[in-house]
């Protein structure tokens, strides 16, 4: 008999060679019907894998990320099988699960595949899936694995196998299809009830531009047809909310090939929006004891060598800027933190002076590959709402908790209510990815976990997601469409203070090393505004809208009254615009709706005589007639609901 420990801590006894599916059946038939994957002692296993030792078992359904991964990885196998049958002679490469679905990279040779071919691929996929074919793993010797793919003439699989160790190679079989695979599958193909081929794109083998170009087929699948329908409906909503589309329609930002890829240009309305976000955060920072600083857009290469950024990011950054002086090199700033370390080094500090909190809206530069650029969410130039707190070890937890409060304040003011705090730790198996002493990492990780617990945050732990210099707390926010985004981040760093020899004089009159906290509630203004656009569909909180009110005089006779009302509103700090075009009122209302102006004020003879305004609200319609004073009060009350003081 073996002892199986379940996630709730309960321990059950089973016969040796029982499977995860046997365990599921012993718990409930409902669970057994839905379980599709499992993890035993930290390793992904099939639901029919024999369990031969005591251990910890977790069962996964499609509702869990791990279950989706197994489902979509298995679907990639079926997609590859369908394509092989439709296009004989193609060469398969790799087909992983991704965040939403899966893809398979394929060398189609002489075959051509377009969007018109997607329906027949889907039809063949479902035809094969309905066979309810089981996925079976088997070990294969390196020689036999190479022989199979040499016979097929597949150079891609051969290259993969040549880099594997004999004894660690496995194949997965289902129906008449075999693929090189490490495992992690659903019980059988029949569980897949719906599939959609989403797109086809070019992709270089192993992401290397010097290697052959393949065709990447993206797909997504579900255990119920209804789930696919719902997903496609959300996808359509996402297209309507795409920040690139809305940014253009609302005249917030643009890009220019002449300026360069990934380098955003903020238009007047977008620049004003940015400024309001900056002013909003600066007010909170002032109350939180922060001091604003400004640093240059470049720095000497040695600065980033000292910080470790050049070693980690140098090859992926813009190349050094050379000056007329021999051997002098500068870099476009990839991070603000080295500059802030040097600001701290300006003069000596005592423990009585700490903490020091330096904040900056600093623009940084990263050379992202052109294929990875995406609107404002992935750019080469972006402005971080950056701050660095230098404190004593005793102050660390309280400072970290105060920073959590700041992040939560930002989220609540902007309508982000659904989020999870992710504790991002280093990967102990890959120490080469990080800098610093083990003892410092242990202290930093413990401080983050304790602070998050004391603030009552819902947390998940992700190993291997830490920054190279320290662990962090990342805030994963769900938008209105249920998509997850990483927004604010807080990081604990014992390493940069050592690299820059930062010190303070303690109560014992000796020099000590401060602890450094990196934090950015927005992350970057570009990415944050993009996510906010898609979350709100362009209907920002009233306090943030570029124009809060638009005045629509029904004819030029009432232009002066419109100007009078506008002045009164502006005096009450309500941003107002007058639409004085020679258009019908109905057309002006439609245009204001498209521009997402929150309030429309219609003025004519009746309103002028009564010193009143007729009010319409975006998306709601007519609200009736108000005195100007009452309307101003309406606006202020709505703003006060979301924009509370820090």
Residue numbers of the chain with a pLDDT score lower than 50: none
Residue 384 annotated in active site: yes
Q: Which residues of 382-401 are buried (b: 16+ CB within 10 A; e: fewer)?
A: bbbbbbbbbbbeebbbebbe
Of the candidates 397, 526, 531, the one whose C-alpha atom is nearest the C-alpha of residue 473 is 397
pLDDT, tens only, 466-501: 888 788 999 999 888 888 888 889 998 888 999 999
Q: For residue 61, give both structure tokens.
A: 């359904």
> How far, in Å, CA of 575 to CA of 582, rounded?
22
Q: Which residue of the set 107, 179, 386, 479 is catalytic?
A: 386
DSSP string, 235-250: HHHHHHT-HHHHHHHT
Which 3 state secondary structure label does DSSP give 584? coil
Active-site hit among 340, 366, 527, 535: 366
- Give the closest residue to 424 by CA, choosing from 438, 408, 409, 441: 441
Question: What pLDDT is stored for residue 315 in this prediction?
Answer: 74
Considering only CA atoms, give the Rg of the chain: 29
Q: Which one of 172, 181, 337, 341 is the catalytic residue? A: 337
User: Is residue 405 within 8 Å of residue 289, measured between CB atoms?
Assistant: no
Give the DSSP per-residue string, 462-483.
EET-SBTTB-EEEEEEE-TTS-
* Beta strands per DSSP E along 79-128: 91-92, 97-98, 101-107
Q: Which residues have a Cβ under 8 Å from the Cβ of 559 and sit 6 or more positions away?
A: 553, 578, 580
Q: Is 472 a catalytic residue?
A: yes
Annotation says 73 is catalytic: no
Note the pLDDT tens digit of each residue in 437-463. Answer: 888 888 888 888 988 999 999 888 888
Regarding pTM above 0.85, the answer is: no
Contacts of 532 (CB under 8 A, 6+ apart): 414, 540
Cα separation, 90 vs 154, whole angstroms: 9
Cβ neighbours of residue 128 closer than 8 Å, sequence gap 6 or more: 78, 81, 82, 85, 175, 189
CA distance linking residue 412 with residue 543, whole number of Å: 13
Is 300 assigned a catalytic role? Answer: no
For the question of residue 316 being annotated catalytic, the response is no
Which has the closest alpha carbon to 496: 440, 544, 424?
440
Contact 198, 229 (CB under 8 A): no
In terms of Cα–Cα distance, which of 447, 496, 446, 452 is closest to 476? 452
Confidence (pLDDT) at 441: 85
CA distances from 268 to 45, 271, 530, 596 (A): 55, 5, 16, 17
- What is the number of other CB atoms lying within 10 angstroms of the CB of residue 39? 19
Do 544 and 414 contact (CB within 8 A), yes or no? yes
Q: At what angle do helices 155-162 and 142-152 cross, to 10 degrees?
A: 160
- Looking at residue 447, its pLDDT comes to 86
C-beta separation of 600 from 615 below 8 A:
yes
**Alpha carbon distance 185, 182 (integer Å):** 10
DSSP secondary structure string for all residues of 258-314: TT-TT--EE-HHHHHHHHHHHHHHHHHHHHTT-EE----SEEEHHHHHHHTHHHHHG
Please write the tens of the pLDDT for every residue from 219-264: 999 999 999 999 999 899 889 999 999 999 999 999 999 999 999 9
Is 581 assigned a catalytic role?
Answer: no
Among residues 174, 388, 535, 596, the one annotated as catalytic is 388
Cβ-contact 104, 217 below 8 angstroms: yes
Question: Which is the catalytic residue, given 77, 243, 472, 575?
Answer: 472
- Alpha-carbon distance 273 to 545, whole Å? 7
Among 124, 357, 518, 588, the active-site one is: 518
What is the spatial distance between Cα 601 and Cα 89, in angstroms, rounded to a whole number? 67
- Catalytic-labelled residue, pool 384, 395, 422, 491: 384
Query: Known catalytic residue: 401?
Result: no
* Angstrom distances, CA of residue 315 to CA of 134, 210, 211, 334: 45, 17, 20, 12
Give pLDDT, residue 431: 84
Determine the pLDDT at residue 384: 95
In angstroms, the CA 151 to CA 442 distance is 52
Model pLDDT, residue 446: 87
Q: Using CA atoms, how far apart are residues 465 and 422, in angstroms rounded to an integer?
A: 9
């Amino acid at each position: 008999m073996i002892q199986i420990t379940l996630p709730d801590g309960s321990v059950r006894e089973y016969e040796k060679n029982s499977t995860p599916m046997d365990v599921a059946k012993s718990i409930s038939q409902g669970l057994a019907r839905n379980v599709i994957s499992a993890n035993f002692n930290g390793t992904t296993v099939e639901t029919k894998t024999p369990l031969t030792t005591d251990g910890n078992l977790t069962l996964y359904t499609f509702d869990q990320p791990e279950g989706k991964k197994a489902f979509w990885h298995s679907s990639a196998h079926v997609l590859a099988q369908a394509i092989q049958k439709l296009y004989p002679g193609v060469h398969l490469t790799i087909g992983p699960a991704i965040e939403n679905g899966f893809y398979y990279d394929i060398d189609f040779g002489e075959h051509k595949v377009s969007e018109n071919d997607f329906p027949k691929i889907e039809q063949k996929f479902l035809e094969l899936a309905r066979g309810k074919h089981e996925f079976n793993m088997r070990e294969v010797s390196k020689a036999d694995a190479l022989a199979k793919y040499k016979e097929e003439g597949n150079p891609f699989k051969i290259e993969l196998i040549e880099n594997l160790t004999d004894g660690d190679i496995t194949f997965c079989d289902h129906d008449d299809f075999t693929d090189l695979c490490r495992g992690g599958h659903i019980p059988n193909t029949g569980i897949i009830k719906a599939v959609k081929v989403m797109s086809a794109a070019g992709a270089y083998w192993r992401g290397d531009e010097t290697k052959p170009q393949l065709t990447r087929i993206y797909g997504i699948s579900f255990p119920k047809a209804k789930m696919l329908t719902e997903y496609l409906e959300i996808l359509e909503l996402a297209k309507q909310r795409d920040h690139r589309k809305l940014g253009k329609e609302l005249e917030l930002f643009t890009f220019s090939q002449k300026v360069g890829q990934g380098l955003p240009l903020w238009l007047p309305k977008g620049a004003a929006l940015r400024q309001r976000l900056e002013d909003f955060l600066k007010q909170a920072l002032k109350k939180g004891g922060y001091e604003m600083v400004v640093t240059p857009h470049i720095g000497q290469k040695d600065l980033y060598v000292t910080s470790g950024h050049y070693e980690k990011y140098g090859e992926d950054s813009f190349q050094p800027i050379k000056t007329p002086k021999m051997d002098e090199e500068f870099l476009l700033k990839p991070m603000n933190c080295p500059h802030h370390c040097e600001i701290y080094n300006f003069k000596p500090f005592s423990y009585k002076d700490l903490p020091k909190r330096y904040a900056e809206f600093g623009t940084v530069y990263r050379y992202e590959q052109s294929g990875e650029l995406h609107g404002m969410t992935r750019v080469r130039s972006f402005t971080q709402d950056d701050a660095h707190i230098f404190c004593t070890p005793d102050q660390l937890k309280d400072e970290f908790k105060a920073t959590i409060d700041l992040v939560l304040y930002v989220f609540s003011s902007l309508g982000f209510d659904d989020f999870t705090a992710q504790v991002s730790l280093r990967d102990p198996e890959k120490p080469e990815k990080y800098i610093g002493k083990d003892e410092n990492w242990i202290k930093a990780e413990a401080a983050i976990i304790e602070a998050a617990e004391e603030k009552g945050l819902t947390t998940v732990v992700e190993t291997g997601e830490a920054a190279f210099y320290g662990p962090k707390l990342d805030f994963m926010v769900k938008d209105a469409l249920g998509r997850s985004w990483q927004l604010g981040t807080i990081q604990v760093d014992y390493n940069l203070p050592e690299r820059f020899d930062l010190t303070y004089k303690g109560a014992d009159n000796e020099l000590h090393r401060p602890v450094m906290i990196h934090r950015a509630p927005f992350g970057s203004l570009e990415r944050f505004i993009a996510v906010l656009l898609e979350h709100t569909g362009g209907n920002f909180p009233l306090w943030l809208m570029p124009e809060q009110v638009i005045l629509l005089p029904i004819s030029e006779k009432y232009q002066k009254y419109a100007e009078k009302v506008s002045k009164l509103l502006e005096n009450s700090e309500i941003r107002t615009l007058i639409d004085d075009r020679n258009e019908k009122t109905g057309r002006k209302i439609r245009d204001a709706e498209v521009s997402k102006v929150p309030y429309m004020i219609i003025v004519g003879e009746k309103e002028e005589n009564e010193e009143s305004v007729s009010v319409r609200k975006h998306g709601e319609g007519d609200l009736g007639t108000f005195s100007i004073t009452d309307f101003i009060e309406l606006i202020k009350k709505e703003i006060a609901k979301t924009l509370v003081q820090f």
